Amino acid sequence: MEWLERNVPKLVLAPSFVAILVFVYGFIGWTAWVSLTKSKLMPRYEIDGISQYTRLFASPRWDVAMNNLFIFGALFILLSMVIGLVLAIFLDQKIRSEGVLRTIYLYPMALSLIVTGTAWKWILNPGLGIQEMVRGWGFTGFTFDWLIRPEMAIYTVVIAAIWQASGFVMALFLAGLRSVDTEIIRAAQVDGIPTHRIYSAIIIPTMAPIFLSAFIVLAHLAIKAFDLVIALTNGGPGYATDLPATYMYAMAFSRGDLGQAAASAMIMMMVIFAIVVPYLYSELRPRRDH
């Protein structure tokens, strides 16, 4: 009885512990194992070495997916941060309707990426969307057909993704701006330092941890991007907008190539871990003190 009482906290955690152990770490192990076998339609469990990975890196489709991830990730992260920072600094200038604007900027984040993709697919559709609208204004030569051009379609994914997430970055940065010590800012103002100098020399440097957080979240969103591509381009034209996530899904569920699916999932995981592990490590370490 007393043993029970002493161990209640551990017993309460036990189901979660088992669940995480099996469904997170066990499953990662399973996928890692399968990625080292010759599994096709059905999983096979004889280790075969790294042949799935060599096949993966030799696959032109994977090559496109990784290239797209690089283009999409870089532009999405960079532009979302720039837009988010600009909006946050502008909103920070005691704008009268700040609350309304903030609400408008952030609402896309509450929507499903499938909804977002559906909306943008309609707007970017060359026959009826923006292109047709601008032509209707009299600019008959105007073309904006990225959605159906293989080499440009990935940029439409960038546009929709920025629309979705930049408001969130704005909210993060705005919270950061507001947490900067007002005493220091007032002192600088008294000294006659111009506003843009106060931002570039005092405020923004103290926000470094928030930049890091925003980067981590955006990078994480980029690597996991799946829904948006499915709804907006369905990976096409051809497989021009494939990302690792859609590649993995196609291999696992429509191509029946479990080995390739497992290997591509493992690569995705390694990319995320390379970004997240150092971050979590640094975030968790000082915590132990209190």
Q: Which of residues 46-85 bind other proteins (CB under 8 A)?
A: 83
Select 56 or 262, whichever has its Cβ closest to other proteins: 262
- Asked if residue 274 binds other proteins (CB under 8 A), the reply is no
- In whole angstroms, the minimum distance from the beta carbon of 268 to other proteins comes to 5
Q: Which of residues 227-256 bind other proteins (CB under 8 A)?
A: 227, 230-231, 234, 244-245, 248-249, 252-253
- Asked if residue 191 binds other proteins (CB under 8 A), the reply is no
Select 64 or 120, whichever has its Cβ closest to other proteins: 120
Q: Which residues pair with 47 in a beta bridge?
A: 37
- In whole angstroms, the minimum distance from the beta carbon of 150 to other proteins comes to 19
Residue from 50, 74, 280, 282 touching other proteins (CB under 8 A): that is: 280
Residue from 87, 157, 161, 250 touching other proteins (CB under 8 A): that is: 87
Q: And the tokens for 126?
A: 């060359």
- In whole angstroms, the minimum distance from the beta carbon of 36 to other proteins comes to 14
Q: Which of residues 104-163 bind other proteins (CB under 8 A)?
A: 104-116, 118-123, 128-130, 132-133, 136, 163
Q: Which of residues 153-172 bind other proteins (CB under 8 A)?
A: 163, 167-168, 171-172
- In whole angstroms, the minimum distance from the beta carbon of 253 to other proteins comes to 7
Q: Which of residues 33-52 bind other proteins (CB under 8 A)?
A: 34, 43
End-to-end CA distance of the chain: 32
Residue from 47, 58, 190, 284 touching other proteins (CB under 8 A): that is: 284
